[in-house]
Amino acid sequence: MFTPEQLAAWTGGRWTHPPRAPLLAIRHDSSETGPGVLFLAVRGERTDGHRFVADALARGAEGAIVEPAAATAGLPAGAPLLVVGDTRRALLDLASGHRARMTGRIVGVTGSVGKTTVKDLAAAVLAAAGPVARTRGNFNNDLGLPLSLLAADPSVAHGVFEIGMNHPGELAPLCRLLRPHWGVMALVGPVHLEFFAGEAAIAEEKATLLRALPADGLAVLAADEPWFDLLRAAAPCRVVTVALDTPADYRGRADPADPRRLLVTGPDGAGIDCRLPVRGQPMLRNALRAVAAGREAGVSAESIAGAVAAFEPPPMRGGERAIAGVTWVNDAYNSSPVSLQAALETFAVHPARRRWVVVGGMRELGRSGADLQNEAGRQAAAGPWTGIVVVGALAAPVADGAVGAGWPAERLWRCDGPPAAAALLAERLRPGDAVLLKGSRGERMEEVLAEWARLAGAPAEAPAH
């Protein structure tokens, strides 16, 4: 619960009229407002939240946070408005004031690939030690992080928050706001190369989270992944290592007989046996980080194993769905050279006899983009696929690379967009087939599945087991 006096003090703003009911939440989307909610009018690149103040009030919002020019613009007389100089700045001030009230351990999660899955896994495991707050979805930027903090109960035992970036210098202000006690680093790799001098510059930016940790804090780092030495040197606190391929505090290995089984040995020699929700090395590595965080927080091996087994991956991050007899592996939330290679390696051991790879372009790779996509095609050509479907102009070098590496041209199709790819697959897929969807967010690869399901007259989606 927030008091009007607190909000005014944190922002330096003034109320035109006091709210008439308790303030329980702050939202920037007018469609999510209602009783107990204070609407925050944020100016964005595409629209101005001040246009929706009247709508928020009509939906029952207790008031709104606005800038001076909008304080009287066509709004009901007597509307409770907190007037501030800049609503974006006010959002950070509100979140900072609320963060100061939080008494539990705050865990920051960043990296290039797998941040949201690591964050959600760690939160699920830590929930066994008490109430947990977490980032909603992947709300991890200068808008999403403060909103996620404001949605957190200040008395939780742990807060697990994801922080992201795509330009240099973006992590430092987020870390100053978050003030993490612990940091968990997901895989660091060549993502957002368009805006960085190279992969080393990306690793340096990600290390900002580690430099923000206190001396009595803790950092969870993978000892067998790129940039470990750089990241470890940035941490001013105790470092806990995880690894699949080298000695580490928490050593994990996959069960050769069951690709969804992760066996972990901790520093005390005790074992933890986890059943994973998704097959493949990326999930093994993500879960290993969460296991380490849980054990360091005192969570029992049994509770950790139960939390991991019950975990449901975020949408479009490698989960499997069976639709009309066809298994779809939807890993289309985003793509990069590292994540595409991992997805291909994982899909190569899928039990389906006929496997189709449907790949869209990878964005934000800068001047190296065409070469990296061509190399991805060469990697794809080594797989046991029934067919490769390349979607969109950006992915054209993927097709060129695959054919150049010897992939049969008659088993590679180039489609100009998701509808064309869906139509092609509707003619060729059979029950028992499996399809991997992979591409950057802006390529909208999930539309391939939606359109195929429509063309096939498929029933509602059901989990694949």
Looking at 310, 327, 355, which one is the last position of a domain? 310
Q: How many other C-beta atoms lie within 10 A of the C-beta of residue 129? A: 17
**Of 122, 58, 65, the residue nearest 95 (C-alpha):** 65
Q: Give 351-381 pLDDT, tens digit per residue.
A: 999 999 999 999 988 888 899 999 999 999 9
Same domain, 337 and 410: yes
| Structural domain boundaries enclosing 233 | 102-310
Q: Dump pLDDT digits (tens) for 403-457.
A: 999 999 999 999 999 999 999 999 999 999 999 999 999 999 999 999 999 998 8
Query: Which candidate, 264, 284, 227, 249, places its Cα nearest to that of 110?
Result: 227
**How many structural domains comprise the chain?**
3
User: Quick one: 75 and 106 in the same domain?
Assistant: no
Is residue 305 a contact partner of residue 283, using CB atoms and an 8 Å limit?
no
Residues of the chain with pLDDT > 90, as a percent, come to 79
What's the pLDDT tens digit per position in 114-141?
Answer: 999 999 999 999 999 999 999 987 788 8
Does residue 134 sit in the same domain as residue 265?
yes
Nearest residue to 82 via CA among 19, 171, 160, 145: 19
The H-assigned helical ranges of 235-325 are 281-296, 301-310
Output the pTM of the full model: 0.86
Q: How many of the other CB atoms lie within 10 Å of CB of 75?
A: 17
- Per-residue pLDDT tens digits for 157-194: 999 999 998 888 999 999 999 999 999 999 998 877 77
Give 155's Cβ-side CA count (13 Å radius): 1
Is residue 399 classed as helix, strand or coil in its secondary structure? Answer: helix
The answer on 303 and 393 residing in a single domain is no
Same domain, 288 and 344: no
User: What's the CATH number where 404 sits?
Assistant: 3.90.190.20
CA distance 142 to 88: 9
* 109 plus 51 within the same structural domain: no
Averaged confidence pLDDT in the chain: 93
211 and 65 both lie in a single domain:
no
User: Rounded CA gap, 426 and 294, in Å?
Assistant: 44
118 and 77 share a domain?
Answer: no
Structure tokens at 231: 């990241």
Exposed / middle / buried, residue 43 (Cβ in 10 Å: 0-12, 13-18, 19+): middle
Give yes or no: residues 194 and 324 share one domain. no
3-state secondary structure 442-454: HHCCHHHHHHHHH
